[in-house]
């Protein structure tokens, strides 16, 4: 791996000096630096709106003492700037320590010295900008020409390359070199007074091969097809219903309404409904929920690249690992970063992540999913007397302290006596997550399992995530349409 010149500034000599400065003044420190560059292509109605390129340097220096953190952010990697930033972070940690009431220590770990570079079959830098433009234009054309009902199209291509260096007081030195790509397609359709839209994206960690899979090639057509189909969708019905939820919607509910409550920082701050519930049965028997950000899972979905939410080592120098959250309905583990694991006296499980080096790591998910069981989709539908099959996801939100959630799927079908009826739109589901997890009455098999990609926001930081699930059935969910 070729190390960028900026990162080379931080050599053994500087690290030695930093250790000298920190000696006995703070208990822990870490430095994260990164050099990023990338391209962004944003097309609307076959015209380019933004064609841009960037080069950004970030550096965040963290120091810790007895419950207090100090954090100093700088945007250049000169030796003198780093030393100065380091001293500031130490001073701020001591200030925090003098004021904080919640005292704790960070459990020391063995140093980790490692380099990682994700595989990329086609390097992003080797692809000419003209070819990237051509790709976006083709997607725009496919979407625009799909039907005369297509009103607007938008295609966004984002790629990036980042090289990060992590150092900490235990002597860790981790260099990671990542390249990632996201292609995003949005289509608006109009028929008489009805306006509809659909959106899909493909994303992963790897090279240009990410946009060359069948899924990526079909992205714009699939999106246009959905947006057109929705024009004739009927308004949904309201009331209490049995719901069959597709992998995309289920995965999102698992992530948003449940996954965030498992983040130990929210648990410690009394903001989670799962506080003091480890070891308790909180979901139907047979429910297994996992967060597994480890690498090598793209294969499972026939992808020639790594999943968008995967990572090798988290942003606190802890290798990613598979964490079992719910096993057979019983809450087993929270997700941890360095601080929460130290405070709860458990081993860290590699969920300390930051969007960029100039932000502090928080407890975050990577690839969270509900494990498949044994139902086929046909069997679930046939076994449902009166219900609604909900597909895809528009958006959703959850009140973390109560677990009250609402999600909007993109389209849905009424199920009557085991038969799928006509398409409906704009279906909103709401409920209490801990009640809903206990009302799961069927979990689909491996063939129905799928994953989706997204950017997850928490405390102003947006990070790469994936979620996954099979089709599932939940009883007794409140459904609200507009009428």
DSSP 467: E
Three-class SS state of 182: strand
* Options 130, 214, 417, 422; binder of another protein; rule CB under 8 A: 130
Least distance between another protein and beta carbon 372 (Å) = 29
- Determine, following the binding rule CB under 8 A, whether residue 9 of this chain makes contact with another protein: no
* Residue 287 structure tokens: 């429910």
* Residue 412 structure tokens: 């849905």
Our CB check for another protein shows the closer of 400 and 468 to be 400
Which 213-272 positions form the footprint of another protein (CB under 8 A)? 238-240, 265, 268-271
d(CA 135, CA 30): 41
Our CB check for another protein shows the closer of 111 and 481 to be 481
* Options 358, 384, 448, 452; binder of another protein; rule CB under 8 A: 358
* Residue 432 structure tokens: 């209490």
* Options 112, 114, 237, 432; binder of another protein; rule CB under 8 A: 432
Least distance between another protein and beta carbon 88 (Å) = 6
Our CB check for another protein shows the closer of 251 and 400 to be 400
Three-class SS state of 342: helix
Long-range contacts of residues 427-430, Cβ cutoff 8 Å, at least 24 apart: 427/236, 427/388, 427/390, 427/479, 427/481, 428/479, 428/480, 428/481, 429/243, 429/390, 429/477, 429/478, 429/479, 430/404, 430/405, 430/406, 430/477, 430/478, 430/480
Any bridge partners for residue 205, and if so which?
180, 306
Our CB check for another protein shows the closer of 381 and 427 to be 427
* Options 197, 261, 320, 341; binder of another protein; rule CB under 8 A: 197
Torsion from C-alpha of 458, 259, 413, 425, nearest 10 degrees = -10
Which 80-99 positions form the footprint of another protein (CB under 8 A)? 88, 92-93, 95-96, 99
Question: Which listed range, 38-46, 115-123, 172-180, 314-322, lies at the site for another protein (CB under 8 A)?
Answer: 38-46
Cβ proximity of 329 and 479 under 8 Å: no
Least distance between another protein and beta carbon 270 (Å) = 4
* Residue 12 structure tokens: 């053994």
Three-class SS state of 449: coil
Question: Which listed range, 51-59, 115-123, 141-149, 381-389, lies at the site for another protein (CB under 8 A)?
Answer: 51-59
- Determine, following the binding rule CB under 8 A, whether residue 345 of this chain makes contact with another protein: no
Any bridge partners for residue 245, and if so which?
390, 472
Least distance between another protein and beta carbon 243 (Å) = 14
Our CB check for another protein shows the closer of 228 and 380 to be 228
- Determine, following the binding rule CB under 8 A, whether residue 481 of this chain makes contact with another protein: yes
Q: What is the DSSP string of 88-152?
A: HHHHHHHHHHHH-SS---PPP----EEEEE---SS-GGGS-HHHHHHHHHHHHHHHHHS-TTEEE
For 262, 270, 333, the CA distances from 110, given in Å and listed in that order, are 26, 31, 23
Our CB check for another protein shows the closer of 6 and 371 to be 6
Least distance between another protein and beta carbon 397 (Å) = 3
Our CB check for another protein shows the closer of 122 and 190 to be 190
Which 143-172 positions form the footprint of another protein (CB under 8 A)? 151-152
Total chain residues near another protein (CB under 8 A): 74
Least distance between another protein and beta carbon 268 (Å) = 6
- Determine, following the binding rule CB under 8 A, whether residue 54 of this chain makes contact with another protein: yes
Cβ proximity of 53 and 37 under 8 Å: yes
Torsions phi, psi of 250, nearest 5? Answer: -60, -45
Question: Which listed range, 19-27, 42-50, 244-252, 376-384, lies at the site for another protein (CB under 8 A)?
Answer: 42-50
Which 60-79 positions form the footprint of another protein (CB under 8 A)? 67-76
Which 388-417 positions form the footprint of another protein (CB under 8 A)? 395, 397-402, 404-406
- Determine, following the binding rule CB under 8 A, whether residue 3 of this chain makes contact with another protein: no
Our CB check for another protein shows the closer of 44 and 213 to be 44
Which 278-307 positions form the footprint of another protein (CB under 8 A)? none
Our CB check for another protein shows the closer of 302 and 483 to be 483
Cβ proximity of 272 and 311 under 8 Å: no
Cβ atoms within 10 Å, residue 248: 22
Least distance between another protein and beta carbon 311 (Å) = 23
């Amino acid at each position: 791996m070729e190390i960028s010149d900026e990162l080379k500034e931080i050599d053994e000599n500087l690290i030695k000096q930093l250790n000298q400065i920190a000696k006995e003044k703070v208990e822990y420190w870490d430095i994260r630096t990164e050099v990023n560059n990338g391209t962004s292509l944003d097309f609307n109605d076959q015209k380019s709106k933004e064609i841009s390129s960037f080069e950004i340097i970030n550096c965040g220096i963290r120091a810790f003492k007895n419950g207090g953190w100090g954090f100093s952010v700088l945007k250049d990697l000169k030796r003198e700037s780093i030393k100065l930033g380091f001293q500031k972070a130490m001073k701020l940690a001591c200030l925090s320590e003098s004021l904080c009431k919640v005292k704790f220590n960070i459990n020391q770990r063995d140093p980790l010295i490692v380099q990682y570079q994700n595989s990329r079959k086609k390097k992003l830098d080797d692809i000419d900008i003209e070819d990237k433009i051509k790709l976006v234009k083709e997607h725009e054309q496919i979407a625009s020409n799909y039907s005369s009902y297509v009103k607007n199209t938008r295609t966004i291509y984002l790629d990036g390359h980042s090289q990060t260096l992590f150092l900490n007081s235990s002597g860790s030195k981790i260099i990671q070199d990542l390249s990632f790509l996201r292609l995003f397609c949005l289509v608006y359709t109009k028929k008489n007074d009805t306006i509809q839209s659909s959106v899909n994206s493909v994303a992963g960690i790897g090279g240009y091969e990410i946009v060359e899979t069948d899924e990526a090639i079909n992205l714009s057509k699939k999106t246009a097809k959905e947006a057109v189909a929705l024009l004739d969708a009927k308004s949904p019905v309201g009331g209490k219903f049995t719901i069959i939820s597709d992998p995309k919607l289920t995965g999102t509910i698992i992530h948003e309404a449940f996954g965030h409550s498992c983040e130990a920082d929210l648990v410690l701050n009394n903001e989670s409904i799962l506080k003091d519930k480890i070891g308790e049965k909180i979901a139907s028997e047979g429910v297994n929920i996992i967060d597994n950000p480890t690498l090598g899972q793209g294969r499972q979905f026939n992808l020639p690249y790594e999943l968008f939410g995967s990572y090798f080592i988290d942003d606190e120098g802890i290798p990613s690992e598979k964490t079992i959250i719910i096993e057979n309905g019983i809450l087993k583990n929270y997700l941890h970063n360095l601080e929460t694991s130290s405070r709860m006296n458990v081993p860290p499980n590699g969920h300390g992540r930051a969007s960029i080096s100039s932000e502090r790591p928080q407890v975050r998910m990577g690839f969270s999913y509900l494990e498949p069981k044994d139902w086929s989709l046909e069997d679930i539908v046939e076994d449902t007397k009166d219900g609604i099959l909900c597909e895809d996801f528009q958006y959703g939100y959850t009140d973390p302290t109560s677990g009250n959630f609402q999600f909007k799927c993109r389209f849905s079908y009424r199920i009557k006596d085991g038969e799928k009826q006509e398409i409906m739109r704009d279906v909103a589901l709401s409920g209490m997550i801990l009640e809903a997890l206990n009302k799961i009455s069927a979990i689909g098999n491996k063939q129905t399992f799928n994953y989706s990609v997204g950017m997850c926001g928490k405390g102003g930081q947006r990070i790469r995530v994936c979620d996954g699930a099979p089709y599932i059935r939940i009883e007794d969910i409140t459904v609200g349409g507009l009428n």
